[in-house]
Structure 1
Amino acid sequence: MPSVLPVTTDKNFDAGPGARGRIGLLVLGRDPVCETECAHALTREDQTLHVARIADPRDFTRQSLADLAQPIAKVADTLLRDDRLDVIAVACAAAALAIGRDELSAMLKLGRPNLKVTDPGAAAIAVLRAAGVRRIGLLLTTADSAINQKTVAAYEAEGFEVARALTLSLADDRAMSTLSIGSIRQALAEADDPSADVLLVPCTAMRTWQALPKLHASLLRGRVLTGNQAMMTHAMCLADGTDLPNSLDQLMAG
C-alpha cells in the first residue's frame, strides 16, 4: 500500500462560491415549487442559493403563521453557520406579515448584523416602487380572511392602490402546488383589472410562472409579477448592492 504524500504545489484560496452574493432561502416544508423557481431565477454570475426548509403548519391561519417565528430563526441559524451569508429570503409573505417584518428581520440578524432580509411581500413592495408602479391587482391564495385583509392593508399602507383583490381560498401549500395550470390561468384572467399596472401573485408555492407564457400576450400586457420573481430580483440586488430595475419593462425582462 503506497504512502499518502502531501501535495507540494502552492495552495491559494479565494472568496469561494458566491463571491458576488450568497442568498439563503427558507422554504416551507411542503412547498415543492419555490426552490425550483428561485434557482431558475438566480441569473447573476457568481451568486449562489442555499436552501433550508421549515416545518409548516397544517392549516394556514394568522396565528399558525405567527408561530413560525422561532422555527424560522432556528433553521436560519443552520445556513452556512460561521460563514458568510449575505441575504436571507423567507419564502412566505403571509408568515412575514403575521410575525412582523421588523421583528423577523431583527430576529434573523442576531449574530449576523450585516445580513439583509427579504420575503415575497417586502420584495414586491421594493421592486414595484423602484419600477414606478402605483396601482396593482392582487391574486392571493389563502382561505384565511384575516391574512388576506392584512395583505391588502400592507400594500395600501405602502402607498399602493389595490384595484382588485381576489383569493383562491386554498388551505395549505399542497393545495397551492397542485392547483392545475389551467385553473391558475383562469384565476389570473379573472383577477385581471385593466386599470392596474401589474397583477401581483405573492404565493411562492403556486406554479404561476409555468402558467404565464400563454397569457402574456393578452393579460395585463404581460405584466404579472410572481412572489418568487420579486423575491429573487430583490435578493440578487441586496446581495451585490446593485439597483433594482427602474421600469416595468426592465423588471419584466428579468
Structure 2
Amino acid sequence: MASSFSAESAERIIVALDGMAPDQALAFSAQVEGLRWVKVGLELFVQAGPDVVMQLRDQDLRVFLDLKFHDIPATMEGSCRRAAALGAELITVHACAGTEALKAAQAGAVAGAASTGIATPTLLAVTVLTSWEEQRLQRELAIEQGIADRVLQLAQLAATAGVGGCVCSPLEVASLRAQHRRPFALVTPGIRPQGSAVGDQVRVMTPPDAIAAGASQLVIGRPITQSTDPTGAFAQCCAALTT
C-alpha cells in the first residue's frame, strides 16, 4: 500500500487524532502504514498531557500540536516555549491575540526549541475557524467584515509579527497564497475526500483541489480515522495528490 503514493504526498497530510483516548491514538498512529504527521488537539492533550507528544515522536511521527493558544503575551510566550521543547513541529496560536502576543509566542517557540537543541517549530496563526459561516459570524460576534477579508487581515497580522504560517479554510488558500509566498505555510482543515460527509465543517474542499490552490499541508480526520480501513483511506488521500 505504501508504494502507491510518494513520501512527499505523505508529508502533506496530517491525520487528526481527534475523539480518541490516548491508548487509541497511539495504537491507531502505529498501525497506519506510511503515516508521517499527526495532529494532537485539545481533547487528546487534556486527557494525555505532554507525554502523548513525546510518545508519538517515539513512533517517529511528526506532531502538529493544535491547542490554539490565545492569551496575554507572557502566557503565549511561556506556552509556546514549553510546546516547542516537547518537540511539536507545528503549533497553533490565534491571530486575533494581536501583534504583541504573536511576537511573544514566536520568541517563546525559538527559545523552547533552542533549550533542547531541536529545530524551531512553525507557529500557525488561526484565522477564522472552518465551522464559522459569514452570517453567523456577523450576527453572534458583531463582526461586519466578511470572512474572506477578515482571514486576509489576520494572516497579514501574523506574517508581520514573524509567525511562519496560518491555518485557514481551503476556500481562502488561493487568495492567501497570492499574498504570502512560500515558505509561509498554509495549513488547511476542512478537507474532505470526494464523497465524504462534511460533518461540522462548513468551508470544505477535496485534497487535490486544496493543494492546487496553494495549501502546504492538509488536516484530515474522520475520513481516515473512522474508516474501516484507515491505512487504505490514508493511502487513497495521498495517492490523490499525485494524480
TM-score, shorter chain, exceeding 0.5: no
Q: Which one has more relative contact order, counting CA pairs under 8 Å at least 6 apart?
A: 1
- The bucket for the TM-score relative to the shorter chain is 0.3 to 0.5
Structure with max Cα Rg: 1
Q: Which has the larger helix fraction?
A: 2
Give the TM-score of the pair, scaled to structure 1: 0.37
